[in-house]
Amino acid sequence: MAAPRGDARGRNQLLPRYWPRITDQELQQISGDSNSVITPLFEKMLSASDAGKIGRLVLPRKCAEAYFPPISQPEGLPLKVQDAKGSEWIFQFRFWPNNNSRMYVLEGVTPCIQSMQLQAGDIVTFSRLEPEGKLVMGFRKASTAPSSDQEKHSQAPEKKGHDGEDASISEQRPEQQLEESSEQSDAHLQGNMGKGGAEAEAGEEDVEEANTI
């Protein structure tokens, strides 16, 4: 099995939410029978637009600049990435100018994400195999285990509203409406090629970085 090796220098440049938290099981999945050294780089939770049909994954700026090849032109360059099963994919690594900063994306990722059966909320991880220097994209599914609050709610006696309607259904409606509104908003962003959503995500990252300084 390949041995893991952390990249402390790169990690110090990243926001904590992007620090890699790769498990032994994930390392085994990535390495297979290889004797390579695995360097976990970073991870990111998929947004709805990342996992949608637009075909692009927004990359945290500092992660892209620390671990991916330097690019000077917006159209970028093709980037070969291996998935956890050993299949190789070619993505387009590029950026969009964003005020005085850059917004990095991987384009053409939809077939790969679909092959992993990923959806919004799941985690994609990036590692590097040494000495080959090969980039590997793994994943971790979001936990589906119910929380203690959900378990208590499911065990609570059924409540009826004034008109005999199940009160739990009524209680869920505001959340459902909020979720539907969020889905409609994301669909609108996808209809505009997802650039607005990517800009919002990049702006959020810049604000969070400023707050940590």
Tell how far CA 79 is from the center of its chain. 18
Tell me: pLDDT of 212 over 80: no
Average pLDDT over residues 166-193: 42
Q: Which of 114, 108, 3, 128 is nearest to 51 (CA)?
A: 114
* CATH architecture of structural domain 3-204: Beta Barrel (2.40)
pLDDT tens string 32-42: 656 778 889 99
- Of 5 and 106, the structure prediction assigns the larger pLDDT to 106
Cα–Cα separations (whole angstroms), residue 115 to 111, 120, 154, 190: 6, 14, 34, 21
As a whole-number percent, the residues of the chain with pLDDT over 70 amount to 52
Average pLDDT over residues 50-70: 94
Average pLDDT score over the chain: 72
Return the pLDDT at 92. Answer: 98
Tell how far CA 97 is from the center of its chain. 21
Of the pLDDT bands very low, low, confident and very high (cuts 50, 70, 90), residue 27 is: low
Angle between helices 195-212 and 167-191 (to 10 degrees): 100
Give me the half-sphere count of Cα atoms (radius 13 Å) on the Cβ side of residue 194: 21
Average pLDDT over residues 107-125: 95
pLDDT tens string 128-169: 988 888 999 999 898 744 444 444 444 444 444 444 444 443
Return the pLDDT at 44. Answer: 95
Return the pLDDT at 156. Answer: 44
Tell me: pLDDT of 170 over 80: no
Tell me: pLDDT of 28 over 80: no
Query: 45-49, 103-107, 152-156: which has the minimum mean pLDDT?
Result: 152-156
CA atoms of 101 and 120, how far apart (whole Å)? 26
Return the pLDDT at 73. Answer: 95
CA atoms of 15 and 179, how far apart (whole Å)? 27
Return the pLDDT at 98. Answer: 86
Q: Which residues have CB under 8 Å from 127's CB, separation 6+? A: 20, 22, 30, 38, 39, 40, 41, 135, 136, 138
Average pLDDT over residues 111-130: 93
As a whole-number percent, the residues of the chain with pLDDT over 90 amount to 40
Q: Which of 81, 173, 169 is nearest to 125 (CA)?
A: 81
First-to-last C-alpha distance (Å) of the chain: 39
CB atoms near residue 33 (< 10 Å): 7
Tell me: pLDDT of 13 over 60: no
